[in-house]
Amino acid sequence: MTELPRKAVARTARLAALPLGFAGRTAVGMGKRIGGAPAEAVMTEVQQRTAEQLFRTLGELKGGAMKMGQALSIMESALPEEIAAPYRAQLTKLQDAAPPMSASTVHSVLARELGAQWRRKLVEFDDNPAAAASIGQVHRGRWKDGREVAVKIQYPGAGDALRADLRQISRVAKTFGGLVPGIDIKPLVAELQDRVAEELDYGLEAEAQKVFAAEFRDDPQVFVPDVVAGTGQVLVSEWVHSASSLARLIAEGTQEQRDHYGEMYVRFLFAGPERTGMLHADPHPGNFRILPTPDGELGGMGVVDFGAVARLPERGLPRSIGTLMRIAMLDDYEDVLTALRAEGFVKPSIKIDPAELRDYLGPFIDPARAETFQFSREWMRRQFQRLNDPREPGYTMTLKLNLPPSYLLIHRVWIGGIGVLCQLEAEAPFRQILSESLPGFAE
């Protein structure tokens, strides 16, 4: 593949075919069941083939299609095991890789963005990409001052493809959502659409990365690479020496590694807003790199990809979040309801029973109640089952609550971060982390 597939008709046709393919496989599966094949075996086969088609298509199209796949991938822990198992291998592939651009396309972008003499700046450059993502890929090189660098290059046509993909996915969101049961696709697509311009502007990403790099420069646990140079579609940063990421730990890490890096991961997500005024808003595991240590012991973590950040009006996360959690910890749901109304989470015309609100919110507060909490896929699945089962109190409560626009991105990062902790099956001192980093929680 020489560049990102750009023809809108072809991309739209491939995305539109996903629900049709799922329906066709389901019909074939029903035929096999009528013919005597075990239901469990048929469902596994349908889900396996659906996963392969879905995430292969999303990965190959890149743009908004792959971004959608990556957003879904961190929610894998919420799916029932009989559905999640055949999806898992395909999901993990999207967290770290995608088909590359050709060398000629890469050179053309570099010449346009860095000038015809770009090799005088990049004195060494590996044409084979080291990593790829939804709108760009990363190459390893050496800058003219001797530093090893990561060169992030945007796919030609990424902007048009990103916008077109998200429009198409939005149109088929209801059917598309059936491919990954239990996850509401439409609000996620709407939020991604709202942030398209920011994600496509590598200059804006460079500004955010510079702030994080300066603030975490002397941090003993977290390394953010310095920005070396950049334009609107090329970003050159210091190279992060790492052979692994949180995505790899999810697949094969020891429990000690999962606990250590899981705690480091969540501490970074909470510390960023207070220290920089920004929230790193792309929490998928491939962006968090495991730093090597000379003796092989547990070490620090490198953080990359600052294209999606939430710039917070007040430095730090909203105090209301910590206050609400603290009141809920006291089990005073009359006050919780009052606070939710004040923040716009419950509209004035909506009536809610505080006891039902306790049943709905209580389990979400559990990670903050104990000294340490063991996150797990099982715990995450229970929460999603409560929200998606019409027989559960949480089903109707979800319809009564409102998420103010200013909380949309924070909510996505919160849920995504918890999803990654559950994929890691990490145990962490969550209450202590909240007390130290979430405004309003410990007061």
**pLDDT bracket for residue 43 (50, 70, 90):** very low
In DSSP notation, 398-409 reads HHH----GGGHH
pLDDT of residue 79: 59
User: Are the C-beta atoms of residues 47 and 54 closer than 8 Å to each other?
Assistant: no
Provide the phi-psi class of 346: left if phi over 0, else alpha when psi is between -120 and 50, else beta: beta
Q: Is the pLDDT of residue 70 over 60?
A: no
**pLDDT bracket for residue 28 (50, 70, 90):** very low
Query: 68 with 150, same domain?
Result: no
Query: 91 with 115, same domain?
Result: no
Q: Is the dihedral of CA 47, 52, 55, 58 positive or negative?
A: negative
Q: Is the pLDDT of residue 293 over 90?
A: no
Mean predicted confidence (pLDDT) in 23-39? 37
Mean predicted confidence (pLDDT) in 320-348? 92
Query: 137 with 16, same domain?
Result: no
Backbone angles phi, psi at 139, to 5 degrees: -120, 155
Least confident of 119-128, 129-138, 193-202: 193-202
Query: 93 with 118, same domain?
Result: no
Is residue 55, in this structure, part of any structural domain at all?
yes
pLDDT of residue 323: 93
Q: What is the pLDDT of residues 267-283, one digit of tens each?
A: 999 999 999 999 999 88
Query: 108 with 94, same domain?
Result: no
Query: 53 with 176, same domain?
Result: yes
Q: What is the pLDDT of residues 166-215, one digit of tens each?
A: 776 666 555 555 444 445 566 666 666 677 777 888 999 999 999 999 99
Q: Which of 121-130, 154-163, 358-367 has the highest average model confidence (pLDDT)? A: 121-130
Question: Mean pLDDT, the chain, as a whole number?
Answer: 79
Is residue 402, in this structure, part of any structural domain at all?
yes
Query: 71 with 138, same domain?
Result: no
Cα separation, 207 vs 203, whole angstroms: 6
| 295 DSSP 8-state letter | T
Is residue 332, in this structure, part of any structural domain at all?
yes
Share of the chain above pLDDT 90, in %: 45
Mean predicted confidence (pLDDT) in 438-442? 91
Counts of helices then strands in the chain (DSSP H, E): 19, 14
pLDDT of residue 337: 94
Is residue 303, in this structure, part of any structural domain at all?
no
Cα separation, 396 vs 394, whole angstroms: 6
| Token duo for residue 33 | 């069941």
Query: 27 with 94, same domain?
Result: yes
pLDDT of residue 182: 47
**pLDDT bracket for residue 156 (50, 70, 90):** confident
pLDDT of residue 191: 65
Q: Looking at the chain, how many residues does it have?
A: 443
pTM of the predicted model over 0.85: no
pLDDT of residue 29: 35
Q: Which helix (H) or strand (E) holds 124?
A: strand 122-125
Query: 58 with 202, same domain?
Result: no
Q: Collapsing DSSP states into helix, strand and coil, what is residue 228? A: strand
Report the relative pairing of strands 278-280 and 288-290 from DSSP bridges. unpaired
Mean predicted confidence (pLDDT) in 142-154? 97
Q: How many CB atoms lie within 10 A of CB 203?
A: 12
Query: 219 with 107, same domain?
Result: yes
Share of the chain above pLDDT 70, in %: 70
Is residue 281, in this structure, part of any structural domain at all?
no
Is residue 411, in this structure, part of any structural domain at all?
yes
Q: Is the dihedral of CA 72, 76, 80, 82 positive or negative?
A: positive
pLDDT of residue 34: 39
Least confident of 56-65, 72-81, 98-107: 56-65
Query: 203 with 68, same domain?
Result: no
Q: Determine the structural domain holding residue 370 and report its residue range.
A: 319-437
- 319-329 vs 333-343: helix crossing angle, rounded to 10: 160
The residues near 230 (Cβ < 8 Å, ≥ 6 apart) are 202, 203, 205, 206, 236
Query: 339 with 420, same domain?
Result: yes
Cα separation, 422 vs 371, whole angstroms: 17
Number of domains in the chain: 3
**CATH number of the domain to which 125 belongs:** 3.30.200.20
pLDDT of residue 57: 56
User: Are the C-beta atoms of residues 97 and 130 closer than 8 Å to each other?
Assistant: no
Residue of 63, 59, 137 lying closest to 100 (CA atoms) = 137
